[in-house]
Amino acid sequence: MNLFFERLRSRRLASAFVLLGTLSAVIVAGSFAAHGVRGQEKQSDSSDATPLKVVDSTVPPNDFVRIARMVGPAVVNINTQTLPKETDNRKQHNFHFRGQPNQQNPDDNQDNEQQGGPDNFQDFFNRFFGGQNPGGQDDGENGQVQESLGSGFIVDPNGYIITNNHVIDKADKIYVKLATDPDNEDLGRPARVIGIDKATDLAVIKIDTSTPLPTVKMGNSGDDYTHVGDWVEAIGSPFALKQTVTAGIISSKNRTIEQGAAGQFQHFIQTDAAINPGNSGGPLLNMNGEVIGVNTAIYTQSAGYEGIGFAMPSNTVVAVYNDLIGPSHKVTRGSIGIQFKEGLSGAVNRVYGFKNGVLVQEVQPGGPAEKAGLQAGDIITTVDGHSIKDGDELVNDIASRRPGSTIRLGYVRDGKPMDTTATIGDRDKVFADLNNPQPQGKQEGEGGAGEAKLGVVVHEITQAMAAKIHASGVLIDSVRTGSFADLQGLEPGLVITHVNRQPTPNKEQFDAVVSKLKTGDDVVFEVIDPRRPEQGINYIGGTL
């Protein structure tokens, strides 16, 4: 029996050795086979392969190609530089004052353009500042030159260019690169500001040229000529990528993206053409290659393209441009001096029996409306016999009229139809008189050294204002567009208390200090906003 088990054990061992040997042979054979395959791959015959050739077929250019070739030479790249500004190291300051948010009912409105207003587009809309303010600091506050980029287009062969105001706002140096200029690190040709209009965020700049430059054609953005669904093309320099072309359609028209007075003159064309930071100021074109809008803003949650962009309509652009190239280099808008409430509905309609109209909430003392007999509670229903649907229609009509002209207003008071004739006033002056009343004995227009050297007109503040701000100084009446004061961010309504640390408690001393300033001097203003005296002193400065 023992012998039997010994033989069985020996046979098992032998079987195991045989199995191991067989597996080893298979592995070795597989390895040789694999090496053989790789060797064959390296030596594969490709003599039956046919070489590829480029087909010399021509695709007929489509409309987008035609438009890009036609308009591209007139689209420019704009670069700006903002020099470092002197700051107070104790705290951060905002060098650009903005007006307080409208404290009236959210549905309220007014027929004047308030200076500043809430930070435009801060909550929902990113404007195309390109590389400017990457860290969220104010221009030049980090002690280094700040650079920004944008786009524009030539409308006059003598070098006049339309762009957005925010592209060149507060810039100390502006440069323009033409489509034909070398694509190198050179910033381009120096440009100067002709005029700006903050209400529509438009600006006109100019470069010098010895030869006529290519120009665009301005199209009609009216309802009879542009429609939702029309194809459009945008050309610009997003992210400094020169001459970038994108296409889309008109998604909507007459789009207002800011509420209240700040948005009264901003009724945009909405498009899904891809536009990004750097496109700002570039043209939006119809399929005839005509400019129907200036790309101005985007709706975004990522600071990039999300399919919703806004362009200022060409009809508005043309009107603003024609004013900015005029002798005054400013847009003059009409006003009657009222605040109003948008929309009449419900109980108001039932009581007064009207579906449309503008409810007057406040009449400016001494303004055109008060002189014409209008009162708070009146409902303006017609202008020169034409029905008024809402406040936008009223503002557009009155703002388009020249100061000194007359207008016939139909209105309802206590349920009775009435009418009156009002004389249109200059919008800026009508409300400047309200916000900055002239003290007795002072005549408007006495600019003195401030106007001559800085481009700012001032007058002495009242005792009441001095008590309110706990300081003495001079109140800014007006700032000349493109002047040193304008470029530094001074605005009407601010009080200058010191210039280069020297007190300016009255106009005489202000003029005395300013008269000693020379080109190349550093000039620092200490200013207080009487609308927000709790913010204390702010410092605004630059090199004259």
- CA 436/CA 102 separation, integer angstroms: 18
* Catalytic residue check, 201: yes
- CA 315/CA 55 separation, integer angstroms: 46
- Residue 143 φ/ψ, nearest 5 degrees: 85, 5
**Catalytic one among 138, 166, 459, 529?**
166
Answer for the pair 158, 209: CB distance below 8 angstroms, yes or no. Answer: yes
Helix (H, G, I), strand (E, B) or coil at 244: strand
**Catalytic one among 280, 314, 335, 478?**
280
Residue partners of 357: CB distance under 8 A and separation at least 6? 344, 379, 380, 381, 388, 412
- CA 540/CA 124 separation, integer angstroms: 28
Answer for the pair 532, 77: CB distance below 8 angstroms, yes or no. Answer: no
Answer for the pair 468, 530: CB distance below 8 angstroms, yes or no. Answer: yes
For residue 409, what are the β-bridge partners?
383, 420
* CA atoms lying within 13 Å on the CB side of residue 258: 28
Question: Which amino acid makes up residue 520?
Answer: G
Produce one character per residue of 397-435: b if its CB has 16 or more CB atoms within 10 Å, e if not.
Answer: ebbebebeeebebbbbeeeeeeeeebebbbbbebbbbee
Length in residues, the chain: 544
- CA 226/CA 224 separation, integer angstroms: 6
What Rg do the C-alpha atoms of the chain give, in angstroms? 34
Tokens (6 digits) for 284: 């939006």
* CA atoms lying within 13 Å on the CB side of residue 379: 24
**Catalytic one among 201, 378, 511, 529?**
201
Question: Which amino acid makes up residue 85?
Answer: K
- CA 121/CA 123 separation, integer angstroms: 6
DSSP 59-88: PPP-HHHHHHHHHGGGEEEEEEEE------
Answer for the pair 195, 94: CB distance below 8 angstroms, yes or no. Answer: no
Q: Which residues are catalytic?
A: 166, 201, 280
